[in-house]
């Protein structure tokens, strides 16, 4: 595996952690408030979101990037 592919995978994993963490925290805080069990519910939601978003980033991301490149070029 070349360095370019490794960088893309590392970026997807890192970006997935950050974005799913921020989004799941914010949505739970707005919709449920900071009630008992918030942290456990947030961590569960974060984990589910992460498992969903990583394949999406890796599979959809390159196609979307190619479309953007065509539009901008």
Task: Quote the number of domains for the chain.
Answer: 1
pTM for this prediction? 0.76
Angle between helices 3-32 and 38-72 (to 10 degrees): 130
Domain housing 63 = 3-72
Q: Tens of pLDDT along 36-60? A: 999 999 999 999 999 999 888 888 9
Question: Percent of the chain having pLDDT more than 70?
Answer: 100
Pairwise CA distance, residues 22 & 56, whole Å: 17
């Amino acid at each position: 595996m070349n360095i370019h592919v490794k960088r893309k995978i590392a970026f997807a994993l890192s970006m997935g952690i950050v974005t799913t963490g921020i989004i799941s925290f914010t949505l739970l805080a707005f919709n449920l408030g900071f009630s008992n069990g918030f942290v456990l519910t947030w961590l569960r939601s974060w984990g589910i979101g992460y498992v969903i978003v990583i394949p999406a980033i890796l599979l959809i991301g390159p196609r979307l990037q190619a479309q953007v490149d065509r539009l901008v070029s």
